[in-house]
Amino acid sequence: MDRGDGSIKYILSGEGAGVVFTIDDTTGDIHAIQRLDREERAQYTLRAQALDRRTGRPMEPESEFIIKIQDINDNEPKFLDGPYVATVPEMSPVGKAGRNDPEMSPVGSRHNTCKCFNTAIQACLQSGAARPEQVSTSLSGTSVIQVTATDADDPTYGNSARVVYSVLQGQPYFSVDSKTGVIRTALMNMDREAKENYEVIVQAKDMGGQLGGLAGTTTVNITLSDVNDNPPRFPQKHYQMSVLESAPVSSTVGRVFAKDLDEGINAEMKYTIVDGDGADAFDINTDPNFQVGIITVKKVTELLLPSHFRGALERV
């Protein structure tokens, strides 16, 4: 026991003694001499002993104690994997999945027609061209990607490490689950042909999102992938062509072209003659490189009947 006459000297040893902590050798008061960071070290084990100042002999057994560093909110949430890149099919569902809307459905072929030689010619997307991507849907929209932020503060103390997610940029197209960080589609009928790329900025804020919480942000670049939601369209409904009645079989009569706003395999098409009074006299082949329909003579004998034909082309 310190008698107040200065005969006792206190010494300190252990983790951080003399570097992080010091002891007043007269009073025994312990002080921190460096800034403490719980995220670097959460506790220190130290030993203190009282010595006779004159003889240097211990006056009592050494005492061991632990100093625990109490956490404060000094670390903002951090996204370790950003910026993120994600893809989601255009026209992805919002709300309850399973709506059967012919205008929304990405499945199946699309077609349209035009007239030529009184013959119906069809431009049809190739069979199986459009297969919708497998995506996760829920009552709140189609899942796009999950972002995750970590907070180095103590999760067991207060709300310093409780992170809440929100969208700073990207509404009304996308939303984020405040607890999980899952980004979902939030707007119906997002059309790739109208807008393909979106930049979404997500914020992660600690303290449960309350005032005074620290925040970090990340960027999510989202691209709408194509689905087969556009039929091929002929730039004109009627074509007028001529051919010599003496033209041999396989002679080229003319070309027709249909445009499709989709891309890749969803824009590959096949032209066919489906109807008309010249259906037996003419054939049509698809040029896969240029996506045009080449009309050719099929039977010479058929050309000898009328002096001309009028026809219809159809694209599917």
Per-residue pLDDT, averaged over 33-62, amounts to: 93
Q: Which two tokens stand for residue 272?
A: 């066919």
Contact between residue 297 and residue 249 where contact means Cβ atoms under 8 Å apart: yes
Q: Tens digits of per-residue pLDDT, 84-103? A: 999 999 999 985 333 333 33
Contact between residue 275 and residue 85 where contact means Cβ atoms under 8 Å apart: no
Q: Tens digits of per-residue pLDDT, 100-153? A: 333 333 444 556 666 555 556 666 655 333 344 444 444 468 999 999 999 999
CA distances from 49 to 1, 19, 59 (A): 11, 18, 8
Quick one: 101 exposed, middle or buried, by C-beta within 10 A (0-12, 13-18, 19+)?
A: exposed
Residue whose pair of structure tokens reads 């691209």 in the numeric block: 223
> 228-305, what's its fold?
Immunoglobulin-like (2.60.40)
Which comes out higher in pLDDT, residue 140 or 14?
A: 14
Per-residue pLDDT, averaged over 150-174, amounts to: 94
Which comes out higher in pLDDT, residue 232 or 311?
A: 232
CA distances from 16 to 1, 19, 31, 47, 244 (A): 25, 5, 11, 11, 102
Q: Tens digits of per-residue pLDDT, 256-301? A: 999 999 999 999 999 998 887 777 889 999 999 999 999 999 987 5
Quick one: 150 exposed, middle or buried, by C-beta within 10 A (0-12, 13-18, 19+)?
A: middle
Residue 222 to residue 236: CA distance in whole angstroms: 36
Measuring CA to CA, which residue among 191, 198, 236 is closest to residue 83?
198
Where along the chain do its domains lie?
A: 8-68, 72-94+140-226, 228-305
- pLDDT, residue 143, reads 96
Of the pLDDT bands very low, low, confident and very high (cuts 50, 70, 90), residue 311 is: very low
8-68 against 228-305: fold identical:
yes
The CATH number of 72-94+140-226 is 2.60.40.60
Q: Tens digits of per-residue pLDDT, 217-240? A: 999 999 999 999 999 999 998 889
CATH 2.60.40.180 is the classification of domain 8-68:
no
